[in-house]
Amino acid sequence: MFDPTLQESDPDVARLIQAEQRREFDTIRLIASENYVSRAVLEATGSVFTNKYSEGYAGKRYYEGQQCVDPLETLAIERAKSLFQADHANVQPYSGSPANLAVYFATLKPGDTVMGMALPSGGHLTHGWKVSITGAFFRSVQYGVDATTGLIDMDAVRALAVAERPKLIIAGATAYPRIIDFAAFRAIADEVGATLLVDMAHIAGLVAGGAHPSPVPHAHVVSTTTHKTLRGPRGAMLLCKESMAKDIDKAVFPGLQGGPHNHTTAGIAVALKEAATPAFRDYAHQIVTNARALADGLGAEGFKLVSGGTDNHLILMDVTPRGMTGKAFAQALDRAGLECNYNTVPNDPRKPFDPSGLRLGAASVTSRGMKAPEMARIAAWFGQVADAVNDPDALDRIRATVHEFTSAFPCPGIRV
């Protein structure tokens, strides 16, 4: 009675999974935090490890039956340490927000001062933004980007740190298209006696593949999700110096979480093995090449790129010069088969729910084997959609050509 297939047991959910597979295959996916995992990662994530509780760490668990979980978690840890050249790794955080919160728990008391990048400038909720627990339970001071260049002004960051003496400084972003000077952040942290956390969630795959400088030599702690450019399952990891290992582990469990999601750990282990291959190095470099090609094409279509371009996988652009808001454009693009998210741009005069910009990323299209000529084609579609924002028939015609185009590019993990 427990063995029917998903299709037999729950056709409603089976149908939605099939429809999502089709949607991901038919669409040009440009959300900067998303990707396609491999079939092997999907298989590991959908495994019987989801059945097992294992609160604690390898060799020190609160449940019996860890004959397979202990070596699995150890394998994931060793692969993470080797890939990122880290002293210590914890692979248990459920996702990026709990991973960051564990660092707060390990380094701060409620009310202590934390300094991170403001959300509207490209930071993350958990970098001390006011609506997040990190802004409510801690005293948060926030830096932004220069209004003209769109770049982090390290003199301004230093001045804020010296004035406010934060105990924790966070570098890293969710919508910043340029390389962050991790060494300069560390120098500032040392000057004011702060711990430096680098949240490398967006760029972890680029770092793994040598296409972006690593924060690991500079930061006391590095947090990352595993599902963005790193191309693993939805999860997270913390990497740190040996001196912080005990505090970080204690903060994750028992400080913040119960049992680790072992099926996710299995997927992370597989993704880390994939990320250590020469093919992944090529992939990481191709992401950056593609993002630059896409940025060039979009600039030529009249979109205003924040900071003038990109050094990583991500593009942030102001679309208001083309006479529309970010939300209206994102919705029109979605109808035309091009998926991205609307986003604030630095010093955005508009509200976050209908901002001036779009954020795009090149990781998913690169996972499908697309290269610079395809980026030029995608940029041209952006121009056509911008001309047809209020013309559903024209958007549907674009969608038909997009579908024909995507059918030539297989998706990792998806058989249609």
Contacts to ligand DSN from residues 180-209, by CB under 6 A:
none
Q: Which is the catalytic residue, given 113, 195, 224, 225?
A: 225
Distance CA 105, CA 21 (A): 38
Q: Which is the catalytic residue, given 52, 61, 139, 234?
A: 234
Residue 134 interacting with ligand DSN (CB under 6 A): no
Q: Which is nearer to ligand DSN, 173 or 211 (CB)?
A: 173
Sequence-separated contacts (24+) of 384-393 with Cβ below 8 Å: 384/336, 385/329, 385/332, 385/333, 385/336, 385/338, 386/301, 386/302, 386/303, 386/319, 386/322, 386/324, 386/329, 386/332, 388/332, 388/336, 389/324, 389/328, 389/329, 389/332, 390/332, 392/335
* Closest CB 174 distance from ligand DSN, rounded Å: 4
Q: Which is nearer to ligand DSN, 167 or 261 (CB)?
A: 261
3-state secondary structure of 197: strand
Going by their DSSP bridges, the two strands 88-90 and 236-240 should be labelled as antiparallel
Q: Which is the catalytic residue, given 55, 164, 181, 296?
A: 55
**The only residue of 35, 134, 174, 344 in contact with ligand DSN, by rule CB under 6 A:** 174
3-state secondary structure of 219: coil
Residue 177 interacting with ligand DSN (CB under 6 A): no
Q: Which is nearer to ligand DSN, 96 or 337 (CB)?
A: 96
Asked whether 267 and 232 are in contact (CB, 8 A), the reply is: yes
Residue 33 interacting with ligand DSN (CB under 6 A): yes
* Closest CB 71 distance from ligand DSN, rounded Å: 30
Q: Which is nearer to ligand DSN, 174 or 214 (CB)?
A: 174
Sheet containing 168-171: give its strands across: 88-90, 236-240, 221-225, 195-199, 168-171, 113-117, 139-143
Residue nearest to ligand DSN (CB): 33
Q: Which is nearer to ligand DSN, 174 or 307 (CB)?
A: 174
Applying CB under 6 A, what is the total number of residues that bind ligand DSN?
4
* Closest CB 32 distance from ligand DSN, rounded Å: 6
DSSP character string of 284-347: HHHHHHHHHHHHHHHHHTT-EEGGGS-SSSEEEEE-GGGTS-HHHHHHHHHHTTEE-EEE--TT
DSSP tag of 181: -
Instruction: For residue 234, indicate whether it is catalytic.
Output: yes
Instruction: For residue 165, indicate whether it is catalytic.
Output: no
Q: Which is nearer to ligand DSN, 54 or 341 (CB)?
A: 341
Residue 343 interacting with ligand DSN (CB under 6 A): no
* Closest CB 306 distance from ligand DSN, rounded Å: 15
* Closest CB 99 distance from ligand DSN, rounded Å: 10
* Closest CB 33 distance from ligand DSN, rounded Å: 3
* Closest CB 134 distance from ligand DSN, rounded Å: 13
Contacts to ligand DSN from residues 93-132, by CB under 6 A:
96, 124
Instruction: For residue 225, indicate whether it is catalytic.
Output: yes
Q: Which residue has the tokens 């395809």?
A: 374
Asked whether 166 and 194 are in contact (CB, 8 A), the reply is: yes
**Which of 195, 216, 176 shows the shortest CA–CA distance to 82?**
216
Q: Which is the catalytic residue, given 178, 186, 228, 231?
A: 228
Q: Which residues contact 22 (CB under 8 A, 6 or more apart)?
A: 416
CA dihedral (65, 71, 76, 80) positive or negative: positive
**Which of 203, 159, 182, 173 shows the shortest CA–CA distance to 291?**
203
3-state secondary structure of 25: helix
Residue 290 interacting with ligand DSN (CB under 6 A): no
Residue 229 interacting with ligand DSN (CB under 6 A): no
Residue 142 interacting with ligand DSN (CB under 6 A): no
Catalytic positions, written as ranges: 53, 55, 199, 225, 228, 234
Chain contacts with ligand DSN (rule: CB under 6 A): 33, 96, 124, 174
